[in-house]
Structure 1
Amino acid sequence: MRPMDITWNAADITLDSASPEPLYFQVARQLRAAIEDGRLPSGARLDNEIDLAAHLRLSRPTIRQAIQTLVHQGLLVRKRGVGTQVVRTKVARPLRLSSLFDDLAALDGKPESIVLLNRVEPAPADAIELLEAPTLTHLRRLKRVRLTGGEPLAVMNNYLPDGVIAPSDDELRTKGLYQLLRSAGVRMHAAQQTIGARLATGEDADLLHEEPGAPLLTMQRTTYDETGRVVEYGWHAYRATRYSFNLSLTAGAP
Structure 2
Amino acid sequence: MLTDLDRTGPIPLYFQVARELEAAIRSGRIAPGARLQNEIAIAEGLGLSRPTIRRAMETLVDKGLLVRRRGIGTQVVQGQVTRQVELTSLYEDLKSSHHQPGTRVLEHDVRPADTSVAEALSITEGSDVVYLRRQRSTDGVAVAVLTNYLPLDLADITTAQLQERGLYEILRGRGVIIRVANQRIGARRAHGDESTLLDIDRGGPVLTMERVAYDAAGRPVEFGHHCYRPDMYSFETTLVAR
Task: Bin the TM-score by the shorter chain.
Answer: 0.5 to 0.7
Q: How does 1:68-107 map to 2 (within 5 A)?
A: 96-107=86-97
Q: Distance in 1 between the 2:133 and 2:156 partners?
A: 14
Q: Give the equivalent residue in structure 1 for 2:48.
A: none
Match of 1:235 in 2: 225
Tell me the amino acid that sits aligned with residue 107 of structure 1.
Answer: S
Q: Is the 8 A contact 2:112 2:125 kept in 1?
A: no
Q: Which residue of 2 aligns with 1:216?
A: 206
Structure 2 residues without counterparts, runs of 5 or longer: 1-84
- Are 1:125 and 2:110 matched, yes or no? no
**Secondary structure in structure 2 of the residue aligned to 1:163:** helix
TM-score w.r.t. the length of structure 1 is 0.60
* Structure with larger Rg: 2
Q: Contact 2:114/2:125 (CA < 8 Å) preserved in 1?
A: no
Q: In 1, Cα distance between the equivalents of 2:191 and 2:166?
A: 25
Q: Offset of 1:132 from its aligned partner?
A: 1.5
Q: Does 2:150 match 1:150?
A: no
**CA shift digits 1:111-135 (9 cap, x unpaired):** 0100011111222233111211238
Alignment: residue pair count: 158
Q: Match for residue 80 of structure 2?
A: none
Sort the Cα spacing of 1:251 and 1:138 in 2 relative to 1 into closer, same or farther, 3 A.
same
Gaps of 5+ in 1: 1-94
Q: Deviations over 1:179-230 (max 9, x none)?
A: 0000000021100000000112251111000001221100000000111100
- Give the distance between the partners of 2:134 and 2:119, measured in 1 at CA: 23
Q: In structure 2, what is the Cα distance between the partners aligned to 1:212 and 1:202?
A: 9
Contact 1:208 1:239 in 2 (8 A): yes
| Higher relative contact order (Cα pairs below 8 Å, separated by 6+ residues) | 2
- Counterpart Cα distance in 2 of 1:166 and 1:179: 15
Q: Equivalences for 1:1-254 in 2 at 5 Å?
A: 96-134=86-124, 137-164=127-154, 166-252=156-242
C-alpha contact (below 8 Å) 1:165/1:184 kept by paired residues = no
Query: How far does the alpha carbon of each residue in 1:43-68 deviate from its partner, in whole angstroms, 9 at most, with x for none?
Result: xxxxxxxxxxxxxxxxxxxxxxxxxx
Q: Percent identity?
A: 40
- DSSP 3-state at the match of 2:217: coil
